[in-house]
A and B are shown apart, each in its own frame.
Chain A
Amino acid sequence: MSPKHSNKSDVHPVIKLLYDKTFRSIMYQVLVFGGVFLLGWYLVSNTMANLERQNIATGFGFLEREAAFGISESLIHYTPESNYGRALLVGITNTLKVSATGVILATILGTFIGIMTVSKNWLLRFIGLGYIETFRNIPILLQLIFWYAVINRGLPGVRDALSPLPNVFLSNRGLYLPVMADHPAWSWVGIGFIVGIIGAFLLRKWSLKRLEATGQIFPHLSVGIAVIFAVPFLVWLLFGAPTAMNAPSLQGFNMRGGIRMTPEFTALLLGLTLYTTTYIAEVVRSGILSVSRGQTEAATSLGLRYSWVMRLIILPQALRVIIPPMTNQYLNLTKNSSLAVAIGYPDLVSISNTTMNQTGQAVEAVAIFMTVYLSISLSISYFMNWYNKRMALVER
């Protein structure tokens, strides 16, 4: 509104003010913010009054108290003597454990199926697309419940466990695998593996430098992989090549020894992986399709081998398109792992749920697990923004 205009029409200053753009903007904001604030205040004060009147305990003091319930699987030391804080920490580590494993498996399987769906072979495409359509159109919770039921009711009891391979046992108590028996060599082999990875990385750097300087191609990939495996192998030989195994065997009620994947973990992992794979496959597929056909053809006509085309031309470009939606899928998998509560895997939500019941402090328990998920989500999206910016800079 220009001042000239408002002079002409003889309007009241209040009306004039109402039509002022800045004033209206401020007024809207005050109204919205005030509304949200009042609503929040109203809810909080109601909650306080309700808790007070019913004499329900409040505060986070319960985290220090003894939890006194057992948890079936844990990555960190936990006994019923531990406190609620530690029990929740067990929940967090269990959530991270199943999410991390799920992310790795879903990425591998998803990439594989994504590439299948762009294959020239019609049957391969059919299988890939059929898999995607089937598993993504069935709710994840139904899939989890289904796998858990199949493991629980479909597999034999622990005494009649299936043994598909020697020392591998599959029963409704889960999957038992043999591991190497404790020996000091194994920690050194692990260190050797890390050294091998660093060595391979340095080798790659050196070979690229040489490629740019002299134009000679050094097969850094195959040699690098050889280095990664050779170093730990040599360390293993150096320690006298221990081969003692810790194999599972039936003792008392259960299998003892080896490592074990519980039915709850297996069902959750299976469900999350199969479901998220469909989304990751779609992401990979659209990433590959986003690289224009001309580029592939140009590279092929230069005489590059298909594997080189994939590795040097398509994947690096596809990766830039793939990474943001892929991160979203990883976050979705992590959030979906909260459905563990339906099949009794002790993740963060299940343990919060138990805590909520034993202490009666629902508000605090829900607040804790929402905060944990929120911080995981926000920190990963923050990291990904940073990574995207870095990737964008690489563009030449």
Chain B
Amino acid sequence: MLKKLTSTTAIAALSVTMLASGVQAGATFDAIKSQGYIQCGVNTSLPGFSAPIDGVWQGLDVDLCRGIAAAVFGDADAVRYTPLTAAQRFTALQSGEVDVLSRNTTWTLTRDTALGLNFAGVNYYDGQGFMVRADLGVNSATQLDGAAICVEPGTTTELNLADYFRAQGMSFEPVVIENTAEATAAFFSGRCDVYTTDMSGLASARNVDAENPADYLILPEVISKEPLGPAVRHGDDQWMDVVRWTLTAMIEAEEYGITSENVDEMRDTSTNPGIRRLLGVTPGMGEALGVSEDWAYNIIKQVGNYGESYQTNVTDLLGLDRGLNALWTEGGLMYAYPVR
């Protein structure tokens, strides 16, 4: 018996060591560099932002992860994706399961403070809206009194929804479903009258998931501000810098007109000191950030600038124009901090 027990303990110890070989070092920047890839938390399925298309993760949020990997490792494919539901995402980041959360997450005060996160910037300015079936004859959110509304739990959407109906003096029945695909399926099956999420998410559900997009109507009201951006853990300042400046470099590149097509030419020929600094022709920036000098070149070459990423992922797939997400020079809110 004793022998058996000893062997059991041995098995247990052995298996722990075996699987714990997947042990990753901590969340600091150095640890990420030594692990050789970035563990990126993304949405389970939100076409346009992050969704596996033929087994390859694609979208605006995915491109940001790829950009970070390009900046750190010079290889945009050095990313491992962890699909997360809204309810899982913060604990996954807090507990170190992912290094960066790039999952259409709204920057709010509570999340920045009490949840122990740090937001590195905004990669999509959004707002919450409502989608209904066209044959309901509803054309304004103020007519939604008493409706059953599908919403994902653990989101700002859930809170804004309650706020809005409270302010309007209306009632509603929340149907909380913890998974974007399940929530849209419940809406399409008629379990809810209304599906509410960010406008981009509504467009994604309507244009990609619905059998016939014309059957569904997105109401004109936008009831909230949703600055969506990547988040990292509180206390990892250097790592946050890398994430922040990756996003900035993508926007800055668009401002300078550097694309994945012309980046080589720009690097070789441009005389603009700003472009030369960004692309590492004039060294210094990479060193300050703790990455190689061609970090921004790698991002742009392998992923593209912000405008390119937006075009392929959002405009082409969801049919949304730039709106608030245009460059500040074109009346939008996208404004890159100086890379110098």
Contacts and interface: CB of A to CB of B under 8 A. Distances in A.
Are chains A and B touching directly in their complex (CB below 8 angstroms)? Answer: yes
A315 interface: no
B187 to A, nearest CB: 10
Nearest to B174: A70
A69 B191 contact: no
Interface stretch (A96-104, A281-289, A346-354): A346-354
A312 interface: no
A251 B171 CA distance: 14
Interface stretch (B59-67, B119-127, B147-155, B272-280): B147-155
Contacts of B221: none
Given A253-B148, A354-B153, A172 B189 contact: yes
Given A68-B163, A72-B173, A54 B154 contact: no
B328 interface: no
Interface in B248-263: none
Given A68-B163, A157-B190, A254 B90 contact: no
A341 B186 CA distance: 15
Contacts of A388: none
Most buried by B among A72, A357, A361: A357
A69 B159 contact: yes
Given A69-B159, A350-B153, A357-B153, A54 B191 contact: no
A157 B148 CA distance: 12
A137 to B, nearest CB: 26
A44 to B, nearest CB: 16
Interface in A163-205: 172-173
B159 A68 contact: yes
Interface centre among A70, A157, A172, A264 (most CB of B within 10 A): A70
Contacts of A53: 234-235
Interface in B166-196: 166, 172-178, 186, 189-191, 193
B237 interface: no
Interface size class of A (residues with CB under 8 A): 35 or more
Contacts of B91: 356-357, 362
A56 interface: yes
Nearest to A346: B176
A152 interface: yes
Given A252-B145, A253-B147, A350-B153, A360 B116 contact: yes
B14 interface: no
Contact of B190 (A57, A158, A357): A158
- Residue of B165, B174, B176 with most chain A CB atoms under a 10 A cut-off: B176
Interface in A79-97: 79-81
B244 interface: no
Nearest to B144: A253
Given A80-B166, A172-B190, A353-B153, A252 B158 contact: no
A268 B162 CA distance: 25
A246 to B, nearest CB: 17
Given A72-B174, A354-B87, A360-B90, A152 B186 contact: yes
B130 to A, nearest CB: 13
A341 B161 CA distance: 21
B191 A173 contact: yes
Contacts of A56: 94, 114-116, 234
A388 to B, nearest CB: 33
Nearest to B27: A54
Contacts of B177: 344
B303 interface: no
Given A54-B94, A54-B234, A72 B175 contact: yes
A358 interface: yes
A358 B159 contact: yes
Contacts of B116: 51, 54-57, 360
B94 A72 contact: no
B146 interface: yes
A71 interface: yes
A320 interface: no
A40 to B, nearest CB: 19
Contacts of A173: 148, 191
B51 interface: no
Contacts of A157: 190
Interface string A116-132: 00000000000000000
B94 A354 contact: no
A80 B162 contact: yes
Among B113, B116, B172, max chain A CB count under 10 A is at B116
B111 interface: yes
Q: Closest 3 CB pairs between A and B?
A: A357-B154, A360-B115, A56-B116
8 contacts: A51-B116, A53-B234, A56-B116, A57-B115, A344-B178, A357-B155, A359-B115, A360-B114
